[in-house]
Structure formats: C-alpha cells, structure tokens
Amino acid sequence: MEQSQTINKLITHNIKPSLQRIAVLQYLDINKNHPSVDEIFNVLSKDMPTLSRTTVYNVLKLLYSKGLIQMITINEKQVLFDSNMENHAHFICKSCNKVVDLNLPETIKDTQNFMIDNNLIEETHVYYKGMCSECIKNKNYEL
Ligand SMILES: [Zn+2]
Ligand SMILES: [Zn+2]
C-alpha cells in the first residue's frame, strides 16, 4: 500500500498523521501476518532509533480506538494486530504459532448487530486452532 493511502486513512479517521503513526499503520497495511507490539517495534526501531515500545503501543491503542485496526487475542501469550477490517476468521497453528486469515462460515457472515437473548451483538470474533497446511505437509503433525 502506498504511504499516501495510509496517510489518507489516518486523516479520514481524524488522526493527525505523525511519522510514528504513519509508520505503524503502514507496517500493518503491508504485513498481513498479524504482528505483536514487539514485532512491530523491533522492525520499526531499526529505522527510527528514537521510537520507544511504549509509543508503538500507544499508537496501536489509538488506531484501535478509532476503528482502524483490530486486536486479536487468539494467542494467549500476546495480543496481535490486524489492519484488515473486513469480516474474517483467524486460525492459529498450534505447531508453528502462525496466524492466518480464513473466510467466515456463511452462517456467521453479514450478521453484525443482531440479538441473542435480548443482548445486542456488535462484534463477532471467530478463532480456529489446529495445524496449518504447511506443518501437515512437513509432517510436524500425524494425521
Ligand atoms: Zn504451522
Ligand atoms: Zn486477520
């Protein structure tokens, strides 16, 4: 994604496009592998030596509160981040810990803001866990 598109996304969500905010959002727009705070910080701090881990965390919190990114809690050890706001499910491989995007089942698609027992459901998070196709192929897992 072009940097200008990332800047536009920030502006249309009423976020002042500082260098750190542009860098963090662009990292998420380019890397679709659901990175953690530490992964983002480790890569970006190479080019931005004054960047702190706290700043990265605060930028992520801001982007989340403005609805630009989602927080994924599929891995109980760390929160992961995703700038893909389309409805999709997440799958974590129990062998290599990779998190990938999967399509939602048809029954869950397009069901935002519905009621269950008089409770208003605004978000649905679908997490799958198992063995990824590569680990199965590499025989890390016996079928
Ligand atoms: Zn795997
Ligand atoms: Zn995702």
Ligand 1 (single-atom ion) residues, CB below 5 Å: 93, 95-96, 132, 135
Q: Which ligand is nearest to the CA of 88?
A: 2
User: How far away, in angstroms, is 88 Cα from ligand 2 center?
Assistant: 7
- Per-residue pLDDT of the chain (143 residues), as tens digits, is 688 999 999 999 999 999 999 999 999 999 999 999 999 999 999 999 999 999 999 999 999 999 999 999 998 889 999 999 988 999 999 999 999 999 988 777 666 678 889 999 888 889 999 999 999 998 766 65
- The pLDDT score that the predictor gives to residue 140 is 66
User: How far away, in angstroms, is 113 Cα from ligand 1 center?
Assistant: 34
Per the CB < 8 A criterion, the answer to whether 44 and 23 are in contact is yes
User: How far away, in angstroms, is 92 Cα from ligand 2 center?
Assistant: 11
Strands 89-93, 127-130: pairing kind: parallel
- The pLDDT score that the predictor gives to residue 141 is 63
Structure tokens at 107: 């029954």
Looking at the chain, list the stretches that DSSP marks H as alpha helix, in order from N- to C-terminal side.
3-12, 19-30, 37-47, 53-65, 133-137
- The pLDDT score that the predictor gives to residue 68 is 95
Q: Which ligand is nearest to the CA of 90?
A: 2
Q: Which ligand is nearest to the CA of 129?
A: 1
